A and B are shown apart, each in its own frame.
Chain A
Amino acid sequence: MSWIKVCKTDDVPENSVKKFWAGGGTIPLVIARHKNGYRAMPPVCPHMEEPLDVSGVVAGCVLTCTKHLWAWNLETLELQGEAEKPLKTYDVKIEGEDVMAFISEELVYEFDDEDDMDDDDFFNS
């Protein structure tokens, strides 16, 4: 894929996070608008899959997931607060009134697999 139009600049007010579907409705993403621009990223927090359009709060240049206070500077992508993993982002450019994202494939986070502990001896150990 390539540069894809995601939304209008006015669709995302400053200090907010909105969810959109790109690629013909197949790729979910959020646009976060901070003090100095826009960021496009997967729609969930890399910590516990929390939907960022619900729990993400933008203040100045900082995006915070309010569930467990993982936070990132949206301008520099620096980790802040409790964050232990970086954000993955799509490149963004503004063309006129359109917010465009460069999407070659869907970005996803790896979440820990649940440990397998279903051995027969579980209740006897």
Chain B
Amino acid sequence: MPARNHSQWMAKPPLADDEWIDSRIYSDQEIFEDEQEKIFKHVWVPVCHESELPKAYDFRTTSIAGEPVIICRGPDDEVRAFLNVCPHRGMLIERRPSGSFLEGQPSGNPKRITCMFHAWQFDMKGNCVYVAREKEGYQDRFCKEQAGLRRLRCEVKFGGFVWVNLDDKPSVSLEDWAGAPFECLRKTLDEEPLEIFHYHKAVIDTNYKLWHDTNSEFYHDFMHYHNRVTGFNDAYFARNNEAFPHGHVVVGTFEVNYENYEGFESRGELSFPHLPPNQWYMIDLFPGFNFNLRGSALRCDTVTPLGPDKVMIEFRGLGLKSDTEEERITRINHHNSIWGPFGRNLHEDLIGVAGQGTTMRPGTEERRILHGRQENQTIHDENGMRHYYEEWGRWVDRSPSQPDQAYSVRQGVAAAE
């Protein structure tokens, strides 16, 4: 096709409504705020792995939909989550990214979560246990029994990941939310405890959904020289993208020929329980969480949207807690050589989404983003993305291709057409 003039460029693509989207869903501030409010405040988010809080009184802090969250392990070994917000004056209670409450701090006692502002204190169950000069200031009008932390729903599940939901009454349980897509790896991940060996994060000037898109389609393996060499065999093209309820997708397994790539070796000797060697699995969870198992290493990506054009992605690498030192070194080598942060693939993916982010800054003209490949739901089919955006449309009630229109209305129009 020759180059196009403006009106040709802006014309609707000759594809079905669910085979393309309007790029404003990646760049519009109002849509971003809708997503925070309507999606991220109601979904189960894997905030970390339980091995990141191995001992009683260990904690981590994070945020979901802009709300500060603290996760800690109690003396009873339970992992609990709370808003990291003091009920007194709204102070951020804990400022460190992670640590332990076991020892005292300059502004806090041992075994307590302390707000340094006015020394209010909380235990690992979120009970308020101390209000400084309580009786003098509140007499009998208010007391610590009325000043507990806001506790959040929190479960340790699917290989020891810690899942938090800001919604006290989520529309589905965690089991019903993600049990089906995790079924393919459940025996493998739950056979024995996993342990984190890698963590890094990247703040990228792009929309979080573009990252998830990249994890959901493999047509972009043309960007990954390594994948083309080690992966493009018959089994590669035979894999299916399988859609699951709630917008999740699982990409079927296949055997990777690592020895086809110079400097790489087969990963046959080190795997996970119940898995044949050199296998590859991917689970993409709506709205932006990804679990990728490559034979010897498990990777988990979680997105935290920071704005329409800014996302923080956390990358974790995991092996088995029972690994010998040698096994652990092998897993780390395998993890880092592909993913990194400076492995074969990860930075290439980041170049892809950063490039998209560059063309879709807030205020740029809308673009038509195509995901209309139909290949019997195999690996270069874009059905995974279509499945995702159907779910997305329902949650924010906007049509992905015409985001000014309500999803429900758009569905009616499509049916009438």
- Which residues of A pack against B, CB within 8 Å? 44, 48-51, 54-55, 67-68, 82, 112, 114-118, 122-124
Contact = CB atoms under 8 A, between A and B. Distances in A.
Contacts of A124: 168-169
Contact of A48 (B75, B109, B124): B109
Given A48-B112, A49-B110, A114-B124, A68 B119 contact: yes
Interface of B: 74-76, 78, 104, 109-112, 119, 121, 123-125, 127, 129-130, 132-133, 151, 153, 168-169
Contact of A51 (B74, B104, B130): B104
Nearest to B133: A82
A55 B114 CA distance: 16
Contacts of A67: 109, 119
Contacts of B75: 114
A68 B114 CA distance: 12
B119 A112 contact: no
Contacts of A115: 125, 127
Q: Which 9 A-B pairs have the closest CB atoms?
A: A48-B109, A123-B168, A114-B123, A49-B110, A50-B109, A114-B125, A115-B127, A50-B104, A123-B153
A82 B125 CA distance: 26
A123 B169 contact: yes
Given A48-B109, A51-B104, A68-B130, 11 more contacts: A48-B110, A48-B112, A67-B119, A82-B133, A114-B74, A115-B125, A116-B125, A118-B78, A118-B125, A123-B151, A123-B153
Contacts of B125: 114-118
Nearest to A125: B168
A82 to B, nearest CB: 7
Nearest to A49: B110
Contacts of B124: 114
A49 B109 contact: yes
A123 B133 CA distance: 31
A115 B123 CA distance: 10
Chain B contact surface mostly: loop
B146 to A, nearest CB: 14
A49 B75 CA distance: 15
Given A50-B104, A114-B74, A68 B169 contact: no
Contacts of A50: 104, 109-110
A105 B127 CA distance: 32
Contacts of A48: 109-110, 112, 121, 129-130
Contacts of A82: 133
A48 B120 CA distance: 12
Nearest to A111: B111
B58 to A, nearest CB: 16
Nearest to B167: A123
B74 A54 contact: no
A44 B132 CA distance: 19
Contacts of B110: 44, 48-51
A117 B127 CA distance: 9
Contacts of A123: 151, 153, 168-169
Among A67, A112, A116, max chain B CB count under 10 A is at: A67
A123 B112 CA distance: 23
A90 to B, nearest CB: 22
B173 to A, nearest CB: 11
Given A48-B112, A123-B169, A68 B153 contact: no
A67 B121 CA distance: 12
A41 B119 CA distance: 25
A122 B151 contact: yes
A55 to B, nearest CB: 8
B260 to A, nearest CB: 51
B129 A112 contact: yes
Contacts of A51: 104, 110
B169 A49 contact: no
A51 B110 CA distance: 8
22 contacts: A44-B110, A48-B109, A48-B110, A48-B112, A48-B121, A48-B130, A49-B110, A49-B111, A50-B110, A51-B110, A54-B104, A67-B109, A68-B130, A112-B129, A114-B127, A116-B125, A118-B125, A123-B151, A123-B153, A123-B168, A123-B169, A124-B168
Nearest to B123: A114
A104 B278 CA distance: 63
Nearest to A44: B110
Contacts of B127: 114-115, 117
A30 B169 CA distance: 50
